[in-house]
Structure 1
Amino acid sequence: MTQTTIDPADFRKVLGSYPTGVCVITAMGEEDRPAGMVVGTFTSVSLDPPLVGFFPDRKSTSWPLIEAAGHFCVNVLGSDQQDVCRAVGAKGDQKFVGVEYALSEHKLPIIANAIASIECRLYSVTEAGDHWFVMGEVLRLETTREEDPMLFHRGRYGGFAELM
């Protein structure tokens, strides 16, 4: 089998042409402190059983905290939540300063005003190059408001615009 060499800059540029939704994955970490990470790789996987997935970077310092919790919540951000995205996307342990959230019955942080929340039990983690492919079994899900989702496209955040 022949190995193809792809320039990482070209890979990012071409794949950046495909817009993605923006979610915050949350869990309760050690000492009852919330852990979180921003992802643009969230997807539905299976209806039976109900599975969802996302791809954290293997170098992520937040992913091990979420994995150790064994449960996580996918918080789908609205286009008006860039402040939440910036806060949780920051490096360090102060990701939730100024971010409003409530704990669910599964003791998962649900971000205030997220347009949807999907609570999951960790189902599997598979190596996928320089990322992990994480699947979660859906335990509970809810749409909380009908707003534009936050989208990421070509290095910028924005919202959805309907075609007329």
Structure 2
Amino acid sequence: MSTCIAADMASTDSGSAWGSVDVQPAALRKLFGAYPTGVAIVTTRGPQGRAIGLTINSFASLSLDPPLVLWSLVQHSPSLSAFQDCSHFAINILASDHEALARRFASSAIADKFADVAVAETPEGVPAIEGAIATLVCAHDHCRQTGDHLLFVGRIVRTAGDGGAPLVFHAGRFTSLDPVS
């Protein structure tokens, strides 16, 4: 018997003594908070041309060839249908000094999140947040219901950005990375 298999068998014999079996939302939220994530604002246009945007930290690269990204949105979001039905959306990766912007686009109390926010219109017709360290304009590829969220996959069609230090979310708060020496 290989040592890996023997080690796996030994760990399953005492499985109940290791870790927690509490997988309730509150416990998971706390555990997920231990994983630092970047912060972005995803934007699109609604059916009547209204700019729509929200703060996300569920963004990830999926594939380089073809160039695909993914992000998710809770199924009870008032913006869900706009993103389901859009042809394009933009992922605007926020800079370390954009905490107020991230909070603004995360708040349901702010009716017009774009008021007094500098944006540029992409050739695809979606608003892009000026000053974002990177913007990925994506063609809406597909979406899929997964648990209590809808998972969106976008094919990157255009990029822009000046780089910089990213805004990070960790342990329930916004922070930034230490500069690389």
Asked if 1 retains the 8 angstrom alpha-carbon contact of 2:41 and 2:55, the reply is yes
Aligned Cα RMSD in Å? 1.5
The amino acid that maps onto 1:45 is L
Q: Which moved more, 1:19-28 or 1:29-38?
A: 29-38
State the match for 2:144 in structure 1. Answer: 126
Which runs of structure 1 show a deviation greater than 6 angstroms over 4 or more consecutive aligned residues? none
State the match for 1:19 in structure 2. Answer: 36
State the match for 2:132 in structure 1. Answer: 114
State the match for 1:141 in structure 2. Answer: 159
Query: Would you say how many aligned residue pairs link Structure 1 and Structure 2?
Result: 160
| Residue among 101, 107, 112 paired with 1:90 | 107
| Residue among 86, 91, 98 paired with 1:69 | 86
Kindly provide the CA deviation profile for residues 115-151 of structure 1, in whole angstroms up to 9, marking residues without a partner as x.
0000011111111100111100111112x22321010
Runs of 5+ consecutive residues of structure 1 not aligned to the other structure: none
Q: Secondary structure of 1:30's match?
A: coil
State the match for 2:3 in structure 1. Answer: none
Q: C-alpha separation between the residues in 2 aligned to 1:146 and 1:5?
A: 40
Give the C-alpha shift of residue 15 in structure 1. Answer: 1.1
| Residue among 163, 167, 170 paired with 1:153 | 170
The amino acid that maps onto 1:133 is L
Runs of 5+ consecutive residues of structure 2 not aligned to the other structure: 1-20
Asked if 2 retains the 8 angstrom alpha-carbon contact of 1:81 and 1:150, the reply is yes
TM-score normalised by L of structure 2: 0.83
Kindly provide the CA deviation profile for residues 1-55 of structure 1, in whole angstroms up to 9, marking residues without a partner as x.
xxx7612211111111000000100011133210011110100101111110001
| Residue among 60, 73, 90 paired with 1:43 | 60
State the match for 2:75 in structure 1. Answer: 58
Give the C-alpha shift of residue 95 in structure 1. Answer: 1.3
TM-score normalised by L of structure 1: 0.91
Q: Secondary structure of 1:31's match?
A: coil
Identity of counterpart residues, as a percentage? Answer: 32
Q: Secondary structure of 1:32's match?
A: coil
Structure number, greater radius of gyration? 2
The amino acid that maps onto 1:136 is G
Higher helix share: 2
